[in-house]
Structure 1
């Protein structure tokens, strides 16, 4: 089972074993990761699962679709590494994926 690492703005980490096929947002919500709300349930319509994908991991996940980029305009503190975690599906290749939470997520 891949491990996903969530890092809070204060540097604290939460390492979670993530079942294959779930979205990173579902994994976070199921483990009560602070800052990942997933208000829309993963339908890419709220941006409450915004996080930053570490650069070295960007090549391991699909490029954001236009609708995800549109929804990111609703998030605060967006950067080039911003992604909606509801759009990232856990695969074996994501073992060790690091998601940093934005400062406004708490």
Structure 2
């Protein structure tokens, strides 16, 4: 089983079993680690904002324009900020590490 490593907003580390083809947002919500995902993955709300670890950021597909636009509307982003609804899990992401961004 592939593992998604998550640091929650309280600084606690979680190892989550990930499912092929699921959005990372869905995995985070399923484990109830603090992601809302209000828009359900339509890249419209920014409540699934995560910060991907620097060593993983370049290994992910580039964000599409709509994700970049949604991130630009958030009050504080990092160079490796992403919307977890736009990252589709594949076994190549085994070990991906990310931190939940502060709630907007």
Normalising by structure 2, we get a TM-score of 0.92
1:2-81 mapped onto 2 (5 Å cutoff): 2-34=2-34, 36-81=35-80
Once the 2 structures are TM-superposed, how far is the Cα of residue 58 of structure 1 from its aligned partner?
1.5
Once the 2 structures are TM-superposed, how far is the Cα of residue 70 of structure 1 from its aligned partner?
0.2
Deviations 1:40-95 (A, max 9, x none): 00010100000101111112210011110000123232011100000001111111
Which of these residues, 83, 101, 105, is aligned with residue 103 of structure 2? Answer: 105
- How many residue pairs get matched? 104
Root-mean-square deviation (CA, aligned residues, Å) is 1.4
Partner in structure 2 of residue 96 of structure 1: 95
Partner Cα distance (1:28, 1:42) in 2: 12
- Quick one: structure 1 residues 8 and 76, their matched pair in 2 at CA, closer, same or farther if it must change by over 3 Å? farther
- Runs of at least 5 residues in structure 2 that lack an aligned partner in the other structure: none
Deviations 1:20-50 (A, max 9, x none): 000100000111111x110000010100000
Partner Cα distance (1:76, 1:8) in 2: 19
1:2–1:90 contact (8 Å) kept in structure 2: no
